[in-house]
Structure 1
Protein backbone atom coordinates (compact mmCIF):
# COMPACT_ATOMS: atom_id res chain seq x y z
CA UNK A 1 0.00 0.00 0.00
CA UNK A 2 1.48 3.39 -0.95
CA UNK A 3 2.37 5.79 1.84
CA UNK A 4 0.60 9.12 2.24
CA UNK A 5 4.13 10.54 1.90
CA UNK A 6 4.72 8.86 -1.46
CA UNK A 7 6.43 11.36 -3.82
CA UNK A 8 3.74 10.77 -6.47
CA UNK A 9 1.33 12.74 -4.25
CA UNK A 10 3.72 15.62 -3.56
CA UNK A 11 3.73 18.97 -5.29
CA UNK A 12 7.02 19.56 -7.11
CA UNK A 13 6.90 23.28 -6.42
CA UNK A 14 9.10 25.80 -8.16
CA UNK A 15 12.20 23.66 -8.63
CA UNK A 16 13.74 26.16 -11.04
CA UNK A 17 13.61 28.98 -8.49
CA UNK A 18 14.91 26.74 -5.71
CA UNK A 19 17.76 25.58 -7.94
CA UNK A 20 18.56 29.19 -8.84
CA UNK A 21 18.98 30.00 -5.14
CA UNK A 22 21.08 26.90 -4.40
CA UNK A 23 23.26 27.31 -7.50
CA UNK A 24 23.87 30.96 -6.66
CA UNK A 25 24.92 30.03 -3.11
CA UNK A 26 27.20 27.24 -4.36
CA UNK A 27 28.96 29.59 -6.75
CA UNK A 28 29.52 32.14 -3.99
CA UNK A 29 30.98 29.44 -1.74
CA UNK A 30 33.27 27.98 -4.38
CA UNK A 31 34.72 31.30 -5.48
CA UNK A 32 33.68 34.37 -3.49
CA UNK A 33 35.74 36.57 -5.84
CA UNK A 34 33.73 35.33 -8.80
CA UNK A 35 30.42 36.21 -7.18
CA UNK A 36 28.38 38.55 -9.30
CA UNK A 37 26.93 41.26 -7.00
CA UNK A 38 24.20 41.93 -9.53
CA UNK A 39 23.20 38.25 -9.53
CA UNK A 40 23.12 38.23 -5.72
CA UNK A 41 21.02 41.40 -5.68
CA UNK A 42 18.59 39.94 -8.22
CA UNK A 43 18.30 36.69 -6.26
CA UNK A 44 17.60 38.59 -3.03
CA UNK A 45 15.13 40.84 -4.83
CA UNK A 46 13.39 37.79 -6.31
CA UNK A 47 13.06 36.14 -2.90
CA UNK A 48 11.79 39.38 -1.31
CA UNK A 49 9.13 39.74 -4.03
CA UNK A 50 7.53 36.36 -3.39
CA UNK A 51 3.94 36.23 -2.25
CA UNK A 52 2.56 33.52 0.05
CA UNK A 53 1.75 31.08 -2.78
CA UNK A 54 5.15 31.72 -4.36
CA UNK A 55 6.87 31.02 -1.05
CA UNK A 56 5.01 27.72 -0.73
CA UNK A 57 6.09 26.82 -4.26
CA UNK A 58 9.71 27.71 -3.45
CA UNK A 59 9.58 25.58 -0.28
CA UNK A 60 8.12 22.65 -2.22
CA UNK A 61 10.81 23.19 -4.86
CA UNK A 62 13.52 23.05 -2.19
CA UNK A 63 12.00 19.83 -0.84
CA UNK A 64 12.00 18.41 -4.36
CA UNK A 65 15.71 19.24 -4.60
CA UNK A 66 16.32 17.44 -1.31
CA UNK A 67 14.43 14.44 -2.69
CA UNK A 68 16.35 14.42 -5.99
CA UNK A 69 19.70 14.81 -4.26
CA UNK A 70 18.96 12.05 -1.75
CA UNK A 71 17.66 9.74 -4.47
CA UNK A 72 20.91 10.19 -6.38
CA UNK A 73 22.97 9.74 -3.21
CA UNK A 74 20.97 6.62 -2.27
CA UNK A 75 21.64 5.04 -5.66
CA UNK A 76 25.32 5.99 -5.54
CA UNK A 77 25.74 4.53 -2.04
CA UNK A 78 23.80 1.36 -2.88
CA UNK A 79 26.13 0.81 -5.85
CA UNK A 80 28.92 0.51 -3.25
CA UNK A 81 26.93 -1.58 -0.77
CA UNK A 82 26.51 1.35 1.63
CA UNK A 83 23.51 2.84 3.39
CA UNK A 84 22.90 6.47 2.41
CA UNK A 85 21.41 7.30 5.83
CA UNK A 86 24.50 5.98 7.63
CA UNK A 87 26.92 7.90 5.43
CA UNK A 88 25.11 11.17 4.67
CA UNK A 89 23.01 12.11 7.70
CA UNK A 90 25.74 12.16 10.40
CA UNK A 91 28.02 14.46 8.38
CA UNK A 92 25.07 16.65 7.40
CA UNK A 93 24.01 17.02 11.03
CA UNK A 94 27.60 17.68 12.14
CA UNK A 95 27.95 20.40 9.51
CA UNK A 96 24.65 22.01 10.46
CA UNK A 97 25.74 22.07 14.10
CA UNK A 98 28.71 24.18 12.97
CA UNK A 99 26.35 26.71 11.37
CA UNK A 100 24.48 28.21 14.35
CA UNK A 101 23.78 31.51 12.58
CA UNK A 102 21.94 29.77 9.74
CA UNK A 103 20.67 26.61 11.44
CA UNK A 104 19.37 26.75 14.98
CA UNK A 105 19.86 23.62 17.09
CA UNK A 106 16.06 23.25 17.25
CA UNK A 107 15.81 22.95 13.45
CA UNK A 108 18.44 20.22 13.07
CA UNK A 109 16.17 17.28 14.02
CA UNK A 110 13.55 18.45 11.51
CA UNK A 111 16.14 18.79 8.74
CA UNK A 112 17.63 15.39 9.60
CA UNK A 113 14.12 13.91 9.48
CA UNK A 114 13.53 15.57 6.13
CA UNK A 115 16.72 14.03 4.72
CA UNK A 116 15.95 10.62 6.21
CA UNK A 117 12.44 10.74 4.72
CA UNK A 118 13.91 11.53 1.30
CA UNK A 119 16.61 8.89 1.76
CA UNK A 120 13.96 6.25 2.37
CA UNK A 121 11.96 7.26 -0.71
CA UNK A 122 9.37 9.49 0.95
CA UNK A 123 8.44 13.01 -0.10
CA UNK A 124 10.19 15.50 2.20
CA UNK A 125 7.39 18.05 1.81
CA UNK A 126 4.62 15.56 2.61
CA UNK A 127 6.64 14.13 5.51
CA UNK A 128 7.10 17.64 6.96
CA UNK A 129 3.44 18.54 6.33
CA UNK A 130 2.41 15.98 8.97
CA UNK A 131 3.83 18.30 11.63
CA UNK A 132 2.08 21.50 10.59
CA UNK A 133 3.05 24.52 8.58
CA UNK A 134 6.65 25.47 7.94
CA UNK A 135 7.95 28.12 10.30
CA UNK A 136 9.99 31.17 9.39
CA UNK A 137 12.82 29.74 11.52
CA UNK A 138 12.98 26.68 9.25
CA UNK A 139 13.59 28.59 6.00
CA UNK A 140 17.37 29.04 6.38
CA UNK A 141 17.84 25.45 7.61
CA UNK A 142 15.86 24.15 4.61
CA UNK A 143 18.05 26.15 2.24
CA UNK A 144 21.17 24.99 4.08
CA UNK A 145 20.04 21.36 3.84
CA UNK A 146 19.56 21.53 0.07
CA UNK A 147 22.83 23.43 -0.28
CA UNK A 148 24.80 20.95 1.82
CA UNK A 149 23.40 17.99 -0.09
CA UNK A 150 24.28 19.62 -3.43
CA UNK A 151 27.77 20.41 -2.21
CA UNK A 152 28.16 16.83 -0.93
CA UNK A 153 27.24 15.49 -4.37
CA UNK A 154 29.65 17.90 -6.03
CA UNK A 155 32.45 16.76 -3.73
CA UNK A 156 31.69 13.07 -4.36
CA UNK A 157 31.80 13.60 -8.11
CA UNK A 158 34.68 16.10 -7.99
CA UNK A 159 32.53 18.38 -10.18
CA UNK A 160 31.28 21.74 -8.88
CA UNK A 161 28.40 21.77 -11.35
CA UNK A 162 27.23 18.16 -11.03
CA UNK A 163 24.29 18.67 -8.64
CA UNK A 164 22.93 21.55 -10.71
CA UNK A 165 23.31 19.55 -13.92
CA UNK A 166 21.64 16.56 -12.27
CA UNK A 167 18.52 18.61 -11.58
CA UNK A 168 18.45 20.48 -14.89
CA UNK A 169 18.80 17.18 -16.80
CA UNK A 170 16.00 15.65 -14.71
CA UNK A 171 13.79 18.67 -15.43
CA UNK A 172 14.62 18.50 -19.14
CA UNK A 173 13.71 14.82 -19.34
CA UNK A 174 10.39 15.46 -17.58
CA UNK A 175 9.58 18.29 -20.00
CA UNK A 176 10.35 16.03 -22.97
CA UNK A 177 7.99 13.33 -21.67
Structure 2
Protein backbone atom coordinates (compact mmCIF):
# COMPACT_ATOMS: atom_id res chain seq x y z
CA UNK A 1 0.00 0.00 0.00
CA UNK A 2 1.40 3.37 -1.04
CA UNK A 3 1.73 6.16 1.51
CA UNK A 4 0.42 9.65 0.75
CA UNK A 5 3.96 10.74 1.71
CA UNK A 6 5.60 8.48 -0.88
CA UNK A 7 8.32 10.43 -2.74
CA UNK A 8 6.78 9.53 -6.09
CA UNK A 9 3.91 11.91 -5.22
CA UNK A 10 6.21 14.74 -4.11
CA UNK A 11 7.31 17.70 -6.18
CA UNK A 12 11.09 17.83 -6.51
CA UNK A 13 11.09 21.61 -6.38
CA UNK A 14 14.05 23.77 -7.35
CA UNK A 15 16.84 21.43 -6.26
CA UNK A 16 19.45 23.47 -8.13
CA UNK A 17 18.65 26.69 -6.23
CA UNK A 18 18.48 24.86 -2.90
CA UNK A 19 21.83 23.21 -3.62
CA UNK A 20 23.34 26.58 -4.56
CA UNK A 21 22.35 27.99 -1.15
CA UNK A 22 23.71 24.98 0.75
CA UNK A 23 26.91 24.81 -1.31
CA UNK A 24 27.62 28.51 -0.73
CA UNK A 25 27.20 27.97 3.03
CA UNK A 26 29.53 24.97 2.94
CA UNK A 27 32.18 26.89 1.04
CA UNK A 28 31.96 29.80 3.49
CA UNK A 29 32.46 27.49 6.48
CA UNK A 30 35.29 25.58 4.78
CA UNK A 31 36.97 28.89 3.96
CA UNK A 32 36.94 29.71 7.67
CA UNK A 33 34.20 32.30 7.54
CA UNK A 34 31.77 31.89 10.39
CA UNK A 35 29.71 34.87 9.26
CA UNK A 36 28.28 35.18 5.79
CA UNK A 37 30.16 37.62 3.58
CA UNK A 38 28.06 40.83 3.43
CA UNK A 39 28.13 40.78 -0.37
CA UNK A 40 27.05 37.14 -0.46
CA UNK A 41 24.34 37.84 2.14
CA UNK A 42 23.08 40.71 -0.04
CA UNK A 43 22.95 38.45 -3.11
CA UNK A 44 21.06 35.76 -1.19
CA UNK A 45 18.67 38.38 0.24
CA UNK A 46 18.06 39.78 -3.26
CA UNK A 47 17.50 36.29 -4.61
CA UNK A 48 14.99 35.35 -1.91
CA UNK A 49 13.23 38.74 -2.15
CA UNK A 50 12.75 38.14 -5.88
CA UNK A 51 10.90 34.90 -5.28
CA UNK A 52 7.19 34.82 -5.75
CA UNK A 53 5.00 32.37 -3.82
CA UNK A 54 5.49 29.59 -6.41
CA UNK A 55 9.27 30.02 -6.53
CA UNK A 56 9.45 30.09 -2.73
CA UNK A 57 7.47 26.81 -2.58
CA UNK A 58 9.80 25.34 -5.20
CA UNK A 59 12.84 26.35 -3.12
CA UNK A 60 11.31 24.75 -0.02
CA UNK A 61 10.49 21.58 -1.94
CA UNK A 62 14.03 21.60 -3.37
CA UNK A 63 15.49 21.79 0.15
CA UNK A 64 13.27 18.87 1.19
CA UNK A 65 14.42 16.92 -1.87
CA UNK A 66 18.04 17.54 -0.81
CA UNK A 67 17.23 16.27 2.68
CA UNK A 68 15.58 13.18 1.18
CA UNK A 69 18.51 12.46 -1.13
CA UNK A 70 21.11 13.02 1.59
CA UNK A 71 19.22 10.76 3.99
CA UNK A 72 18.82 8.12 1.29
CA UNK A 73 22.58 8.13 0.73
CA UNK A 74 23.20 7.99 4.49
CA UNK A 75 20.67 5.15 4.85
CA UNK A 76 22.49 3.10 2.20
CA UNK A 77 25.86 3.88 3.81
CA UNK A 78 24.54 2.85 7.23
CA UNK A 79 23.03 -0.36 5.87
CA UNK A 80 26.44 -1.26 4.42
CA UNK A 81 27.73 -1.22 8.01
CA UNK A 82 24.66 -2.86 9.61
CA UNK A 83 23.64 0.43 11.24
CA UNK A 84 20.25 2.09 11.43
CA UNK A 85 20.26 5.55 9.84
CA UNK A 86 17.73 6.92 12.34
CA UNK A 87 19.76 5.74 15.31
CA UNK A 88 23.03 6.89 13.74
CA UNK A 89 21.99 10.30 12.35
CA UNK A 90 19.04 11.79 14.25
CA UNK A 91 20.43 11.99 17.82
CA UNK A 92 23.62 13.75 16.75
CA UNK A 93 21.63 16.17 14.59
CA UNK A 94 19.28 17.00 17.43
CA UNK A 95 22.29 17.60 19.70
CA UNK A 96 23.93 19.82 17.07
CA UNK A 97 20.73 21.78 16.46
CA UNK A 98 20.38 22.37 20.20
CA UNK A 99 23.80 24.08 20.08
CA UNK A 100 22.53 26.45 17.35
CA UNK A 101 19.77 28.45 19.09
CA UNK A 102 20.18 31.48 16.78
CA UNK A 103 19.60 29.40 13.65
CA UNK A 104 17.41 26.66 15.09
CA UNK A 105 15.05 27.71 17.87
CA UNK A 106 14.20 24.87 20.27
CA UNK A 107 10.59 24.72 19.08
CA UNK A 108 11.73 23.95 15.49
CA UNK A 109 13.91 20.97 16.46
CA UNK A 110 11.07 18.41 16.63
CA UNK A 111 9.93 19.36 13.12
CA UNK A 112 13.45 19.09 11.72
CA UNK A 113 13.98 15.76 13.49
CA UNK A 114 10.67 14.62 12.00
CA UNK A 115 11.89 15.58 8.52
CA UNK A 116 15.00 13.47 9.07
CA UNK A 117 12.97 10.50 10.31
CA UNK A 118 10.52 10.82 7.40
CA UNK A 119 13.37 10.92 4.87
CA UNK A 120 15.26 8.17 6.70
CA UNK A 121 12.25 5.87 6.41
CA UNK A 122 11.77 6.61 2.71
CA UNK A 123 9.03 9.24 2.97
CA UNK A 124 8.99 12.63 1.30
CA UNK A 125 9.96 15.30 3.85
CA UNK A 126 7.88 17.95 2.05
CA UNK A 127 4.73 15.80 1.94
CA UNK A 128 5.28 14.72 5.53
CA UNK A 129 5.55 18.38 6.60
CA UNK A 130 2.49 19.47 4.59
CA UNK A 131 0.33 17.22 6.73
CA UNK A 132 0.81 19.74 9.52
CA UNK A 133 0.12 22.93 7.59
CA UNK A 134 2.15 25.52 5.78
CA UNK A 135 5.78 26.24 6.51
CA UNK A 136 6.32 29.08 8.94
CA UNK A 137 8.85 31.87 8.67
CA UNK A 138 10.49 30.52 11.85
CA UNK A 139 11.17 27.19 10.11
CA UNK A 140 13.16 28.63 7.19
CA UNK A 141 16.56 28.87 8.93
CA UNK A 142 16.13 25.47 10.62
CA UNK A 143 15.26 23.88 7.26
CA UNK A 144 18.36 25.38 5.68
CA UNK A 145 20.44 24.31 8.69
CA UNK A 146 19.10 20.76 8.41
CA UNK A 147 20.09 20.45 4.74
CA UNK A 148 23.43 22.10 5.46
CA UNK A 149 24.20 19.79 8.41
CA UNK A 150 23.38 16.71 6.36
CA UNK A 151 25.64 17.85 3.51
CA UNK A 152 28.45 18.67 5.91
CA UNK A 153 28.01 15.31 7.69
CA UNK A 154 28.27 13.47 4.37
CA UNK A 155 31.34 15.50 3.39
CA UNK A 156 32.97 14.75 6.73
CA UNK A 157 32.39 10.98 6.64
CA UNK A 158 33.61 10.78 3.03
CA UNK A 159 36.55 13.10 3.79
CA UNK A 160 35.62 15.09 0.68
CA UNK A 161 34.39 18.69 1.00
CA UNK A 162 32.52 18.52 -2.31
CA UNK A 163 31.04 15.03 -2.05
CA UNK A 164 27.49 16.04 -1.07
CA UNK A 165 27.26 18.69 -3.77
CA UNK A 166 28.70 16.31 -6.36
CA UNK A 167 26.26 13.59 -5.23
CA UNK A 168 23.32 15.85 -6.06
CA UNK A 169 24.72 17.37 -9.27
CA UNK A 170 25.48 13.89 -10.61
CA UNK A 171 21.96 12.73 -9.74
CA UNK A 172 20.51 15.79 -11.49
CA UNK A 173 22.70 15.12 -14.55
CA UNK A 174 21.52 11.51 -14.68
CA UNK A 175 17.89 12.65 -14.37
CA UNK A 176 18.37 15.10 -17.26
CA UNK A 177 19.77 12.30 -19.43
CA UNK A 178 16.81 10.00 -18.74
* TM-score w.r.t. length of structure 2: 0.95
Tell me which residue corresponds to 2:15: 15
Q: Quick check: 96-105 or 42-51, which moved more?
A: 42-51
1:14-163, aligned counterparts within 5 Å? 14-32=14-32, 38-163=39-164
Q: Deviations over 1:6-29 (max 9, x none)?
A: 000000000000000000000011
Q: Distance in 2 between matches of 1:39 and 1:106?
A: 28
- How much has 1:49 moved relative to structure 2? 1.3
> Runs of 4 or more off by more than 2 Å in structure 1?
35-44
Question: Is the 1:114–1:127 Cα contact (8 Å) retained in structure 2?
Answer: yes
Structure 1 stretches of 5 or more lacking a match? none
Question: Is the 1:24–1:40 Cα contact (8 Å) retained in structure 2?
Answer: no
Alignment RMSD? 1.3
3-state DSSP of counterpart to 2:134 = coil
Q: How many pairs were matched up?
A: 176
Q: Distance in 1 between matches of 2:52 and 2:132?
A: 23
Question: Is the 1:66–1:149 Cα contact (8 Å) retained in structure 2?
Answer: yes
Q: Deviations over 1:56-110 (max 9, x none)?
A: 0000000000000000000000000000000100010000000000101000000
Structure 2 stretches of 5 or more lacking a match? none
Q: Distance in 1 between matches of 2:25 and 2:96?
A: 16
Q: Distance in 1 between matches of 2:14 and 2:97?
A: 25
Q: Deviations over 1:28-57 (max 9, x none)?
A: 111136x87654432332122111111100
Q: Distance in 1 between matches of 2:37 and 2:100?
A: 24
* TM-score w.r.t. length of structure 1: 0.96
3-state DSSP of counterpart to 2:106 = coil
